[in-house]
Amino acid sequence: MQRLSFCRWCVLLITCAALACTLNAQTTERPISDFLAAQGQTSQFFPPVADLLGWAQGMCASGGLNCMSKPPYDGLCLADFAWVDYAGVAERFLVQNGAMPSGTYYEGFVQQRPLDNGRVEVTVSLHTRNALVWVSKQTKLIPGTACAAPVDYDWYGPLALGARPTTLPPIGQRALGDAFLHLTFQNPAGAPLPDVIDLFYNRFSDIDEYSFHAVASGPVPGGGNGAVTIQQAGKGLRGNLQPSVVNFRETGK
Q: Where are the domains of the chain?
A: 28-252
The residues facing 181 across adjacent strands are 126, 212
pLDDT value for 243: 80
Cβ partners under 8 Å of residue 225, min gap 6:
217, 218, 219, 250, 251, 252, 253
144, 121 contact by CB (below 8 A) = no
- For residue 79, which of 52, 53, 60, 51 has the smallest C-alpha distance? 60
Distance between CA atoms of 214 and 229, rounded to whole angstroms? 6
- Name the stretches of the chain with pLDDT < 70: 1-25, 71, 236-240, 253
What is each CA distance from 193 to 71, 109, 233, in whole angstroms?
A: 29, 13, 21
Distance of alpha carbon 42 from alpha carbon 89, whole angstroms: 11
pLDDT tens digits for range 171-192: 999 999 999 999 999 999 999 9
Average model confidence (pLDDT) across the chain: 88
Q: Structure pTM?
A: 0.86
pLDDT in tens, 207-235: 999 999 999 999 999 899 999 999 999 87
Q: What is the number of other CB atoms lying within 10 angstroms of the CB of residue 11? A: 10
Cβ atoms of 77 and 148 within 8 Å: the answer is yes
194 contacts: CB under 8 Å, gap ≥ 6: 38, 185, 187, 203
The pLDDT of residue 2 is: 44
Residues 43, 71 contacting (CB under 8 angstroms): no
Cα distances (Å, whole numbers) of residue 128 to 122, 203, 238: 19, 24, 26
